[in-house]
Amino acid sequence: QVQLVESGGGLVQPGASLRLSCVASGFTLDSYAIGWFRQAPGKEREGVSCIRPSDRGTYYKDSVKGRFTMSRDDAKNTVVLQMDNLKPEDTAIYYCARRAIPSCALALATDGARSFDAWGQGTQVTVSS
C-alpha cells in the first residue's frame, strides 16, 4: 500500500526555521519524482519544490528559492524540506506527493499537481508573530 506521511509542521515566528519530513512506504522514493505542495486558506494549491529521482536535482518556486532546501534520504525512504527564514506568507498546509513520472518538468506549474498520484495528509505550518 502506497503511503506518504508528513510531519514537522508547527507555529513559529517570522525568521525561524522548520524541517518537514515525508516518510514513504509501499514504494521506494528513488524511483519517483517527489514534490512538496502547499495550500493556504482561500488559495489554490501551489507547488513548492520537486526532487528528481535520477540525480536528486531539485526545483523550487521562486518565492522560496534560497530559503527552502529539499533533500532525500534513501536509507530512511524519506524526503525532507528544510525551511529557513520563514515568512507569514509561507503559512499553509504542506503536502508531499509522488509523481507518476520520474521527472520534475512542469511539476510546479499551474495544474502540475494533477500529475502526482499519491498524497500525504498534510502538515500545518503557521508563521506568525
Average pLDDT over residues 82-105: 96
Instruction: Give the percent of the chain with pLDDT over 90.
Output: 95
Over the stretch 44-93, which tens digit does the pLDDT of each residue have?
999 999 999 989 999 999 999 999 999 999 999 999 999 999 999 999 99
d(CA 60, CA 78): 18
Q: Which residue has the higher pLDDT, 54 or 129?
A: 129
When pLDDT is cut at 50, 70 and 90, the band that residue 30 belongs to is confident
Report yes or no: 25 and 3 within 8 Å, Cβ to Cβ: yes
